[in-house]
Amino acid sequence: MSNLLNRTIVYLFLIILAFIISLNILFTRGYQSIGLSAPFLFKAATLLLSCLMIASLYYYRRQIVRLIQRVPMNRSAAVLLIFSVCLQFLAVVFLCVHPSWDFGVVVKSARLLAEGGKINHYFEYYPNNLLVVILLALIDRLPVSPIISDLVFNIANITFSQYLIYRITAKLAGKPAGILSLMASVLFFPFIFYAPIVYTDTLSLVFLLIPVSLLMERSGAFRSGFKFIIAASFILALGVLLKGSMIVFVIAFSLTMLISFRRWKKVYVFLPLITLFIIQFIFNFCIYESGVADRQQTEQLKFPVTHWLLMGQNQPHYGKYLESDVLRTKRQLQKYPHKEVTRIQLNELRERISKKGWQGNIRFLIEKNAETWTDGTFYTLNVLKRKPVFPQNFKFLMHHPVDWFVQGYARIQLLVLLTGVFLAGIPYLKRKSVSPFLTFSMASVIGFFLFLIIWETRSRYLVSLTPILIIISVVGYFDSFFNGGQTEDR
């Protein structure tokens, strides 16, 4: 049974990655994320450069690994992390923004809460953002400016996440692999350009990486001790409260235990979901009893799951955010009981799907997945262009020929990354055993792909998944030249 599940995951993973890479060859949505169109010459040039980069990495991988093995590992990791902080600091200084959209509501509400005030009515509709507000409110109580504390916290969170990527990869394939993954994460487009945006996309990273780091043993095995499972489940549960799409990792974790654990320990598969329900119950009880949120108002006005499913099927924006859907849901919640709104929206959902027809649904899914998976900027430029403190700096990035370099860097990086992820799965077409970490990683990729097909989508929703993509991409390019974590500390 376990072998069958593993084989199914490997085949699904490779089929999905082949589809995503094909989309990236045909489309690029980086320019479209800021309301522009990518010139044909740009598409052709970046595709050619991506192919050259992929071929070079693959052909010279032995020489690259030998070069990395010569450097002092620990000092190199420290230098790279310091360099990452410098890059993020520069992004904050030159590309900082006046908080707006959901990010602005969260940051301003956190400051109000830290000062003992009441939070915005926005959270009656979006209680899923309450944890991030409470987290930032605790940070804002420090004796420094809230703006500085929030930005420093975000930089620290991203940098610590990069360190954990290094540690996990080093456990999986040795310290040279760890250094390569750290280099990739330090230079990773969204990890630089999201530094000025203190929101769940980056704050959720550690809630994936800490549990994986706790669980990981050498060569990708997962610890099966009860205390490790509970600790990982607890942190993942907090991650789901912070960002709903993290539920994919909870399910992937349970599936991995079902496949890799033996005999009675398979009962552990229920622990992540049980822990999530308990943490959700305790959290709701605390926020209602403390007066942070009003139970009656929130229970009536919070957007039902059907809202996100319905918006995920809107034709005008190919399943992305649509203001008219939000306003209609708000009107419905103010007029009808919550259960009735769910029933109404289920009928609307069926109508939207049936109206497109089977050919229309295929075209819709291709476009929706292109919007999700072919934006190498991960929507960073879109959020940075909203109310920039220094508009001239952002305009400089978007002015030709600088825009070609910025967008080209993002597109090439994404194509190289996804190709490495695909290469990581190919050896397991023949191998019978798959390490628990790779099973978890492949299941997570499959889960995000399916989740964002049915849910409202944005390319930035993939940021939570990118640490997994970076780690397995490095393994995909260089796995046969690593020594399974036996490199000495230097």
The span from the CA of 14 to the CA of 437, in Å, is: 16
- Residue 477: CB partners within 8 Å, gap ≥ 6? 57, 58, 61, 420, 423
Q: Give the max Cα distance, the chain.
A: 68
Please give the DSSP secondary-structure letter assigned to residue 293.
Answer: S
Domain ranges of the chain: 2-302+374-480
CA triple 68-10-438, angle to 5 deg: 40
What 3-state DSSP class applies to 388? strand
**Is 250 exposed, middle or buried (CB count within 10 Å of its CB: 0-12, 13-18, 19+)?**
buried
CB 443 within 8 A of CB 225: no
AA letter at 238: L
What 3-state DSSP class applies to 457? coil
Quick count: other Cβ atoms within 10 Å of Cβ 74?
11
As given in the structure block, the two tokens for residue 130 are 């309450």
Query: Phi, psi at residue 224, to the nearest 5°?
Result: -110, 10
CB 198 within 8 A of CB 151: yes
CB 398 within 8 A of CB 212: no
Which DSSP string do the residues of 237-280 spell out, in sequence order?
HHHHHH-GGGHHHHHHHHHHHHHH--GGGGGGGGHHHHHHHHHH
What CA–CA distances, in Å, run from 291 to 20, 140, 446?
45, 19, 39
Rounded to a whole number of angstroms, the CA Rg of the chain reads 22
What 3-state DSSP class applies to 161? helix
- Identify which of 218, 175, 181, 180 has the alpha carbon closest to the alpha carbon of residue 72: 175
pTM for the model: 0.96
The span from the CA of 95 to the CA of 189, in Å, is: 14
pLDDT tens sequence for the chain (490 residues): 778 899 999 999 999 999 999 999 999 999 999 999 999 999 999 999 999 999 999 999 999 999 999 999 999 999 999 999 999 999 999 999 999 999 999 999 999 999 988 888 999 999 999 999 999 999 999 989 999 999 999 999 999 999 999 999 999 999 999 999 999 999 999 999 999 999 999 999 999 999 999 999 887 889 999 999 999 999 999 999 999 999 999 999 999 999 999 888 899 999 999 999 999 999 999 999 998 999 999 999 999 999 999 999 999 999 999 999 999 999 999 999 999 999 999 999 999 999 999 999 999 999 999 999 999 999 999 999 999 999 999 999 999 899 999 999 999 999 999 999 999 999 999 887 889 999 999 999 999 999 999 999 999 999 999 999 999 999 999 986 665 444 444 4
- Identify which of 201, 227, 209 has the alpha carbon closest to the alpha carbon of residue 172: 209
- Identify which of 426, 326, 408 has the alpha carbon closest to the alpha carbon of residue 125: 326
What 3-state DSSP class applies to 216? strand
Which is it for the CA torsion 198, 162, 239, 473, positive or negative?
positive
Long-range contacts of 337-340 (CB under 8 A, 24+ apart): 337/300, 338/299, 338/300, 338/302, 338/304
